[in-house]
Every structure is written in C-alpha cells, then in structure tokens.
Chain A
C-alpha cells in the first residue's frame, strides 16, 4: 500500500460534512457578546474611579503615584486585532514596591489598573487573576476587569501566596472559598467562559485547606494550611472536574497528569523515562542553561533536550526558575543574578534556542530588610 498525506486530504473531500446548527452558533456568539459588554461596563466603572483618584496626585510621577486611566481596548479600538490564539499566553506580572500591594498588572503589552490593590497574581490563557488582601479575586483580560470570587478571609498573613492557583495551560483557576464557614468549597472558575464551572463543598476545610496544583482539569489540594506557597503532596487529594470526585494524589499521579497536557519539561535520563514537571530550575553556565543539579531537561512536547542560550551579561552560576508557560514552545524564567536579589524576567523560545529579557529588572532585597520590593509572576512553582 502506498499512500500519501495529499491523498488522505483528498479522501476527506468525500466525507459528508454535518449540518451547521446556525441557531446554536448565533446563540453562542450572542452570549459571548453579552459577557464582553458586561466586562467593559465593569472595567469602565473601575477606570472612572481610578481617574477621580488619580486626579488628586497627578503631579507625582514615581511608581507610587496613582496610575493613569487605562484605555479599554474593547471600547476604544475601532478596528481591534483578532483575539490572541487561545493556545498562546501573554506574559503576566506585577511589581510591588516597598512591599505594598499594587493596582498595576501587566498583561502582555497592556497595563491594567485594578480597582483594588492586590498582592497575589496568577495567569490563565485569557489574562491575569489577582487576589487582594481582603480576599477578593479579580480577573482582567488586559482590557476589562471582572470580580470573579472571594477567598472569604483576609490574606495579609499569607506571605508566600498559593491561595489561588491557575493551570499552566487553559483557562481554569481554583481556590477555596471560605466565605460561608459552614460550607467551605473548592471553586473552579473558567476565565474564558467567565463563570464558575465547579463548586465542590469540603466541610472539613474551614480556613485550613489549600490548593496545590491545577493541571488538566484536576486540582491537587491538601487539608493543611502549611502547604500554602509550596507544593506538598503528602496526603493530597485530587478533585477531577470531569467526574466531580476526589481521589488520592501524589507526585506520580501529578507527573502523569502533566505528561497528559503535553506542555511542560521532563527531568531525568531520557524524555520517556524522566519525570514530567510544570516547572524546574536552571543555572547559567558559559552562556547556556544547565538543568537542575546538572540533570538533563527535555521539552515535553517534542521530547528534545532543552538547549537555550541566555544573554551575554548573565554570569555563570546565576539561577533561574521556570514560572510561566506562554505556549508549547515558550516559557518564562525568573532570576538571572548570583545573589538572587535582582529579579529579571526572560522569555525563552525553544525553537530559537534563546532566552531574552522581557521586563525591566527589579532590585529585590532579601527578607529581613523590610519594605522589600517584590515582583509577582505567579504562585505556581511546583517542587517535586
């Protein structure tokens, strides 16, 4: 049998296409339009509030000044570009100065001023999710702003974050909502649909449970508050969105779940036998990145060894954390200084084999110096 890809394409010409349900298409489209308009209204209201606030301090131009009014692309652009491809993310980050919560979040090339200062941040395919000290959770797509939920408690004492977790791909984000102490619940929200897709009551989780990892519609969670900010899968449960049930989870099931998503890294002897991970660490060595503890690191999507160059001014021994995935080929590294006190963001492109600085450097003072500046990328660094 000799065949070819072109023949296969021709054979598909004989396949009878199904009837398109035009009414369903229009219904879905109108639903999207209504959600978009609702988001613009919330965003516009936030911009008006910020404009009034900003007028009082308009002469100040440092980073503590009230932020400028944000233009809402959905409202002001007469001929906007097509929406970004769903599989690609924009770089999301924020800078906190003097350790104080900020209102300003960067989503790709957009800068958005949130209506309330926030101190935690994460990213989905659609934009940024931020959490305030009072436990309110907001989402922005880079233009409009939507309040999507609450933790139900204040967050000042949670220094290391990890209260709200987004997946490294897709549009889901999860947290524990303890606003009703009698029925605390694990919430899963879809930032593409702008709606809660699951609410899973866990009565024993009053203030104490934490989400660990969200991967491929499965939430790893633990009933220990100690796990906030770190990944601790001891005694973890996994809530599966597709079945609505909990089951035990551990590092092995997590690695399998990561592998199923097709996006991540593999650390180990080979791409097939190593451990699939969402994140890992690297060290600079003669202008190249070396994997964690010298171990080989592979791209999960292709199975090829990662070979990446860093800018010439990065000194040998500088460390990096993989903190965000933008698509199957590109990810974001944070770090790049020997002492760890200069925070740089680099976007690495596997195809090009290079990592380039993607945001201005921020000087980060170590704990104990007080009032340190801090950069937020996201809270999802998985240590396995």
Chain B
C-alpha cells in the first residue's frame, strides 16, 4: 500500500513537471491573465491529485486537468466578484510576468479577453490550440452544437471589434467586400 502511494506520488510529480507548462498555456488562453492562470493551474492540479488513482495514465491525467482548467475558468469568470477584492493600493508589481511578451496593446488579445467566458474558451481552444470541435466540446462539457454556436458568436464579436485588419477564421479576404445574405 505504502509502495503504491510512493509510486503514485512519484508519477504525479513527474506529470506535473512534464506537463504543467502546456497546461499553463491553456489556462492563460482561457483566462487571459498570468496570475489567474497560475492559480487556475494550481487548483486544477489539486483536483487531478484527488482523481489520480483512477486516472492512471498521463494522457488521461492531462485530458482531465485540461477539462478542469476550462470548466473552472468559466466558473471563475462568472464568480469573479467573489474572488477579486478591491483595494486602494496597487500591489508591488515586482518582476514583470511572462505576458509582457504579448504587446499590451495587442488588439486581438484585448478583444479575446472581452468575450464572455464560454465564447472565449470555444474560440481559443478551436483556433489558438487548434483543437477539433468534438475535442473542444469534450473539454467544455457541452455539445458540438454549442461549440459551433459559441465559436460563431465569439468570432462575430471579434470581427465587429477588430475590423478587417485581423485575419480571423471565416473572414473574407481583405480586398473583397463581405457578402451580406
């Protein structure tokens, strides 16, 4: 029994070391905030730790953790007034986080962050992570029809906000006018 626990602990540590970077990338895409993504990964890995004995394989664990990241991100966005506490003083920013590599004025990044949580998750999983609709639906815990709907609504909002300068899936070529049915 003790040997099994030690094996599990070692396998879990190895999983965290090997896959946390990729999981963080997904978290950052779906929440759009470095610190929040860090918290999200910690929380999701804690849930994976609980489920570890029945996940057994790294592939299962990664899929499970990614699903928890996506669904928890949607839930957190909805409950942000509970988690975010207003303060008069801004904390010391310390060292810049990794998102400084993204231009803070990047219109696409800003527009993505403004989407409702499910639309944002559907768009980033489909087009930033290149996942097929079925896999995206699995991660978000909904139907493929829902994914199509959220993706369509999200892209429409991005097009409205960003205009033709940004190349989005389904956009007409810049030199051709959009056809209105």
Do A and B come together as binding partners? yes
What residues make up the interface of A, taking CB atoms closer than 8 Å to B?
1-6, 8-9, 11-18, 20-22, 24-26, 28-30, 32-33, 36, 79-80, 82-88, 125, 169-170, 172, 216-218, 240-243, 257, 260-263, 301-302, 304, 327-329, 351-352
Across the two chains, which residue of chain A brings its CB closest to B167? A4
A17 touches B20 (CB 8 A): yes
| Sampled A-B contacts (14; CB under 8 Å) | A1-B107, A2-B165, A8-B106, A9-B128, A11-B101, A12-B25, A17-B24, A18-B98, A26-B46, A29-B47, A32-B47, A36-B50, A257-B81, A329-B146
A17 touches B109 (CB 8 A): no
A9 touches B167 (CB 8 A): no
Interface positions, chain B 31-59, Cβ under 8 Å from A, are 34, 38, 41-43, 45-51, 54
Choose from B41, B50, B116, B127 the contact partner of A301 (Cβ within 8 Å): B116
Inter-chain pairs besides A5-B123, A5-B169, 14 sampled, C-beta below 8 Å: A8-B108, A12-B102, A17-B21, A18-B24, A28-B49, A29-B49, A86-B68, A88-B141, A169-B75, A257-B81, A262-B116, A301-B116, A301-B118, A302-B116
Question: How far does the alpha carbon of A14 sit from the alpha carbon of B21 in the complex, in Å?
Answer: 11
Across the two chains, which residue of chain B brings its CB closest to A169? B78
**Interface residue? B177 (CB, 8 A):** no
Choose from A2, A21, A172, A218 the contact partner of B166 (Cβ within 8 Å): A2
What residues make up the interface of B, taking CB atoms closer than 8 Å to A?
13, 16, 20-21, 24-25, 28-29, 34, 38, 41-43, 45-51, 54, 64, 67-68, 71-72, 74-75, 77-79, 81-86, 97-99, 101-102, 106-109, 112, 116-119, 123-124, 127-130, 140-143, 145-146, 149, 153, 165-169
| Chain B binding surface, main DSSP class | helix
- List chain A residues, Cβ under 8 A from B54: 79-80
B165 touches A25 (CB 8 A): no
B167 touches A3 (CB 8 A): yes
- List chain A residues, Cβ under 8 A from B118: 301, 328
- List chain B residues, Cβ under 8 A from A241: 82
Most central of A18, A218, A243 by chain B CB within 10 Å: A18
Rounded to whole Å, the gap between the CB of B69 and the closest CB of chain A is: 11
Question: How far does the alpha carbon of A304 sit from the alpha carbon of B156 in the complex, in Å?
Answer: 13
- List chain B residues, Cβ under 8 A from A82: 51, 64, 67
B46 touches A25 (CB 8 A): yes
B49 touches A26 (CB 8 A): yes
A169 touches B79 (CB 8 A): yes
Across the two chains, which residue of chain A brings its CB closest to B72? A86
Rounded to whole Å, the gap between the CB of A299 and the closest CB of chain B is: 10
